[in-house]
Amino acid sequence: MIDQDKTQESAPERRRWLDDRKNVDKIYRALLVVCGGLMLADLFYDKHAKYTAEDWFGFYGFYGFFGCVFLVLAAKQLRRLLMRPEDYHDH
Amino acid sequence: MITSLPPGLLLIGGALVVPFLRGWLRWAWMLALPVLGFVDLIGLEHGIHLSISLFDYHLQPLRVDKLSLAFGYIFYIAAFLGILYAVTINETSEQIAALIYMGSAVGALFAGDLITLFLYWEVTAVASAFIIWSGRSEAAYRAGMRYLVIQVTSGVLLLSGALIQVAETGSIAFGASGLDSVAGILIFFAFGIKCAFPFLHNWLQDAYPEASPTGTVFLSAFTTKLAIYGLARGYAGEEILIWIGALMTAFPIFYAVIENDLRRVLAYSLNNQLGFMVVGVGIGTELSLNGTVAHAFTHILYKSLLFMSMGAVLYRVGTVKGSELGGLYKSMPWTTAFCIVGAASISAFPLFSGFVSKSLIMSSAAGEGWVIIWLVLLFASAGVFHHSGIKIPYFAFFAHDSGKRCKEAPLPMLLAMGATAILCIGVGVWSSPLYALLPYEVNYTPYTTAHVITQLQLLMFSALAFAVLMRTGLYPPELKSVNLDIDWIYRRGFPAIGRMLYRAARPLGGTMTIISTKTALGGLSRLVRLTGPESTLARTWQTAGMVALIVTIMALYLVVSFV
């Protein structure tokens, strides 16, 4: 089932755009610009908010950002409690 | 039209022919079955078409309404795409099991009574276990056994509920059950197991990732969505489902972040997506129930697509462990692109399918004043993007280059992924055909300025959080590991208790052994006397004796049926 060709030797690979660290930085900066733009957009439309919090400036952005930071850092702590070696269930 | 035949029997019957067909003929046959089934559904009129009397009860194997039809259509679409994806792999047992599994799942949708539902319910359980065993590894065998025990338990609960309902009301109809009766509660738990409610969920993450690359694609679409269908029919508006669903959206995503096996990550996110649907059932308004059905529809597509892309990686590279992958976009550019479409859809990006379905549930949660629930769902939505939308494509195809080079996925896999990706985008861009399928009339516009911008804010800032955590080195690396979950109780806990009891009982051991050996030997010799070559049962009986026996059995049956 596993492809045997993957081990074959081939000519030196061409460098991809993403192989250059500088281009990865460009993506990061583009993301920052997009996020900034989306925040500013909050000034120009009516949210039809059901709850007061929704009307706070940039509520969804902040909620998404801090929600994810909490998710990842909490999950990282959970590893101390839950993580076991890969063959744990084989014993 | 074959309208009087219950849908699903086509696939089950078709499966029996599969072993006699070879090569392209077999694939043409298998692909034609869901197409025929789909066409058959289009011709079906609403109502009860078939009634079979069994003793005092009326079985209704063909009840048609908008709810069953909506699920029926997407089940057939998923069946077609799954079979197309599997064309590369010549595994007869998996093909037969998959057809029977998918056929019985479709059949269950149209069951108007609990007995018919139970029969299909059990067939899906057994057939799907065979799909897992077709993974053909020791781990797949063991996971399949655990899976089967849990699935059959769900069936036993369903049957018990059905029997109690018959005793109390005299009816075997499958309709709005509610939680006011013992029968209703038992059936609720039967559905709850298959729906992977919190603490009943672990069979999903345990078994699905052990199946073959193609097997998991089949499995991901049917069992859990059948349970969602059951809940929508039986328990719409039960408030407890709102809390259960919210817990389901939030709790598995923590596991998804630290899980190394990327198909297991997808199983956790499957669990999280089911949570959104369960909340929709619990709210129970027309808008929210429409949301549940729409989300089940889009979810089947994008979850299949994600499992297909990881299946292709497994097929080509031999592993889907995040710790061993990376940089595969260089070898598998198409698979990468399709995976990203699936990731954007599950994350509910505007113009992708998840957006037009999840909005219905989010809006109904907000509209009905469930503030805490709404906040949990919003957190879970950001989390979905984080672990499914970014983590899956990032660690498989980008991240640090693992140096692994392989061929692109085989053509049938690419075709299936391409078709699924087109559907994901199609539904996202043009939602009215999907909305027309929903059980209630839809007066809803998903694409408003506020919806689009707030959703983009939520998602892009989640992406920013990922980028910041990665660049600061705070993001937990993918590690070769397993994480403890509820399955610890029966994989480690129960055996440990067993060993403890054994040790405690050892002082009594001598006597116990003698007694148990004697009993066992006694039983064995009696069994041999009854069934051995010289035994009573092995002798040739005279016709008169046989007739006497049959008459006795029939008389007994008569007595029992009159009591």
pLDDT along chain B (563 residues), means of 10: 74 94 94 95 88 83 94 97 92 94 97 95 96 92 94 95 92 91 96 96 94 95 97 96 97 93 96 97 96 98 97 95 92 97 97 96 90 94 91 91 90 97 97 95 92 94 95 89 85 87 78 68 68 62 70 72 54
pTM of the predicted model, to two decimals?
0.88
| Non-local CB neighbours of B174 within 8 Å, separated by 6+ positions | B111, B112, B113, B114, B116, B117, B233, B234
- How do residues B79-136 score in pLDDT, each as one tens digit? 999 999 999 888 899 999 999 999 999 999 999 999 999 999 999 999 999 999 998 8
CA distance A25 to chain B (A): 10
A73, two tokens:
């850092």
Assign A8 a pLDDT band (cuts: 50, 70, 90): very low
Q: Is-contact B269 B387, C-beta < 8 A?
A: yes
By the 10 Å C-beta count (0-12 exposed, 13-18 middle, 19+ buried), B337 is classed as middle
CA B60, CA B77: separation in Å to the nearest integer?
A: 25
Nearest to B450 among A34, A48, A51 (CB): A48
Q: Mutation test of the interface with chain B: which of A43, A68, A79, A91, choosing the one with the most B Cβ atoms within 10 A?
A: A68
CA distance B145 to chain A (A): 15
A37, two tokens:
């733009």
Which helix (H) or strand (E) element contains residue B61? strand B57-64
CA distance B188 to chain A (A): 30
For chain A positions 6-65, those within 8 Å of chain B (CB to CB) are 6, 10, 13, 16, 18-19, 28, 31-32, 34-35, 38-39, 41-42, 45-48, 50-51, 54, 58-65
**CA-closest candidate to residue B220, choices B266, B280, B151:** B266
Q: Is-contact B435 B442, C-beta < 8 A?
A: yes
| Non-local CB neighbours of A55 within 8 Å, separated by 6+ positions | A47, A49
CA B413, CA B89: separation in Å to the nearest integer?
A: 10
